Chains A and B, each alone.
Chain A
Amino acid sequence: MQNDPRFAVNRRQLLTLTGAAGLTGLAAACSGPGTTTAPSSPEGPDTEGPAEGEVSFAHWRAEDKEVFDELIADFESENSGITISQTISTSTDYEAQALRRMRGGEIGDVAPAFRGTQFESFVESGLFVDLSDTDLVSRYNPSLITVGEQDGKQYGFPYQVVFNVPIANMDILESVGVQESPQDWDSYIEMLEAIKAKGITPIAFPGADAGNAGQLFNAMIMNIAPSDDMCTKIQAGEYKLTDDWFIEMLRLYQQLGDYVQPNAGGTAVEPAEQMFATGDAALLSTGSYHIASVRTLGGEFPIDLAPPITSAPGEARYVGIYNATFILGINSASDVQPAAMAWLEYLSTPEIAARYADGTAQFASVQDVEYSNPDLQAIAPWLDKELALAPRYQFTDLDMRLAVEASAVDALTGTDPEQAAEHAQEIVDQRIAAS
């Protein structure tokens, strides 16, 4: 190719061009954060248009995929013109990325939120439409759907109800003369002592898995804290971890340290489940959401709940913990809202909720559901007891929650309670100062 002087570019022009490109890049980079496309106004859902199109159902419950696949197949056969596709992430990825991915309407025409921080973020960012005026409200248990409310509006419906308290192998408990979970601390410790005397590990505790290890915190704090909004107050700085009641709770944790498997601080959740499923441990400290996997691992014994009651006899405010989560909502950025609403309505019928519940061994918050799963039938009476809504999810600052729960695990695995509390309080104070 010959050089044509009319199109020649000298070094100065080249530098000028490069500089201009750089400045353009810099200007683009300096666009302010948060200037990405905002969703449309999160008023009521669009139900006027035709219910058709491809609906993305984003969630984190990979273990429920098969059950949802069956429900989707039946829904699609009843609603020609609508197809549902599941987009499943791990719960942690969902927690971290769902909001950003759903804001553009890319995925998640129908999507759940975790109770607490994530649900609030979804509502504040305008992601969930207001479902207050839909007839869905009447289909759910009114006492359970408050977690899907904000500023007096109903933005979502918690689909699952779980009991975040230890589950027990009732064959072992009955072998030491315990027919139902003790209702005070001394009886609880007596039960653990009797199990230990039989050469069985009383509690399988997954101390190396922060998320699962933290579940025990719910039951340990529910009766000992001065108020029901204790975690909100810890986060606000109104309660201190160095307060007497909190130190007392850590001392009880320390006492439980004698009844967990050796080196519990290094045990992941899967080996803890294995210990429980094989009968090597009498209790699993996590919650009812592990019943299905214990059955898969071969556990065939009767299972019930065994929350630790930290009070003296007759003084407990609560006898257990529940959590309403998997809060389903409609994405305001969705362009197939009528179809998305049809799918949500389908899930909200008692027959379909029962199929989901039986298939996944999770309770549903839809009203008038009849369970045929034997484990759910065995635990169902707990729904009518005096239960506290899982306090750990009052924390909207995840780092603060982890620091507080870590102090409990530290006390259980041998750290001095006061030292554990002081260290955690220091982190809490720093985060309060930074907020």
Chain B
Amino acid sequence: MTAAATPSRRRRLFRSNRRVPPTLFLFPVPALVLYVTFFVIPTLQTFQYSTTNWNGYSADYDVLGLANFQRALTGDLLFTNALTNNLKFMVVVVIGQTFLGLLLAVLLVRNTRTTIFLRALYFFPTILSSVSVGFIWKFVYDPNFGVINSTLGALGLDGLKSPFLGAEGQAIYWLAITQIWFHAGMMVVIFIAGLQAIPAELYEAARVDGASKWRQFRSITWPLIAPAMSIVVAYTTIQSFKAFDIVLSISGNPPSSSLDILSTRIYSSFANAEFGYAATQSVLFIAFIAVITFVFRRFLRLIQGSES
């Protein structure tokens, strides 16, 4: 190529350099075929099914347009109840898991034998299967044989005993505590990785300037932990909506209405031969996760921006 080449010739040369050997296109084909077959087509079909009253096995069905969406949003107490439960669950889990994870990470960020042992200890529940966790907590919460009520009874605090999962207004919060116990260890690891990436010189400079521990946290740790925080919040939000096996193992199937969340509601609709309506709820489920994750991340950026 010479400096005197005309613009059109340069474009042609550019295109010519962009030519790709056709065999290279074969490399992504297996992955594409799998992706299209097992993700793209089922996803598109979900949108299609969501507008029908298909029962899951019959060859006949009616196209209902947006009637299923209208039913879910305005005429289905079971869906509204599951959505409300899910939002309560999500708020408690996101706040609890994030702040507990951050607190433990700040306390355990230094690499000593004790902190490494404690990190491993807090991480341990994460490697358990969710069904095991569900069964463990099912018995922790049992009102007659469970460890909490038994301890309260032994301490003479019978007045504080609770039915836990049988308490209509509280059950979803007890479930949220289980979820926090289950996953907080993972958040600790993510936060510690973020904290250890913050240059030590910044803290040294702050100490020289006489900044208190709290001031160091507010002006250095909090703004610089933002990438890890974003990951934790997005992950926890999505995870709160995807909780499914832990709900069924702790509550039984079908779950009681006080523990019914969106994923279990969708499953119940499938089991009830309402395939089309379950698809509608799945589409709404995707939309809720997308909107809430977006709002959380914007909110986080706002508060961390104002702090920095």
Contact = CB atoms under 8 A, between A and B. Distances in A.
A32 interface: yes
Interface in A404-426: 406, 410, 413, 426
Interface string A195-228: 0000000000001111100000000000000000
Given A26-B44, A263-B162, A266-B143, A33 B271 contact: no
Contact of B272 (A209, A211, A398, A430): A398
Interface in B135-151: 138-139, 141-145, 149
A21 B78 contact: no
A264 B162 CA distance: 10
Contacts of B78: 399, 403, 427
- Chain A contact-residue range equals 35 or more
Interface in B12-65: 15-16, 18-23, 25, 32, 36, 40-45, 48-49, 52, 54-61
A265 interface: yes
Which secondary structure dominates chain A's binding surface? Answer: helix
Contacts, number: 169
B227 interface: no
Nearest to B57: A125
B305 interface: no
Contacts of A399: 78, 268-269, 272
A29 B163 contact: no
Contacts of A34: 54, 57-61
B256 A406 contact: yes
A311 interface: no
A96 B271 contact: yes
B194 interface: no
A115 interface: no
B93 interface: no
Interface stretch (A8-16, A286-294, A331-339): A8-16
Contacts of B61: 32-34
B76 interface: yes
B57 A100 contact: yes
B138 A268 contact: yes
Interface in A1-47: 1, 3-5, 7-11, 21, 25-26, 28-35, 38
Nearest to A90: B253
B165 interface: yes
A35 B45 CA distance: 12
Given A7-B21, A398-B254, A398-B268, 16 more contacts: A3-B16, A9-B20, A11-B15, A30-B45, A33-B49, A34-B61, A117-B272, A121-B55, A210-B255, A263-B164, A265-B167, A266-B141, A266-B143, A266-B167, A268-B142, A403-B257
15 contacts: A7-B21, A21-B36, A31-B45, A33-B48, A34-B58, A90-B253, A117-B272, A117-B273, A121-B273, A209-B252, A210-B256, A211-B253, A263-B166, A266-B142, A271-B139
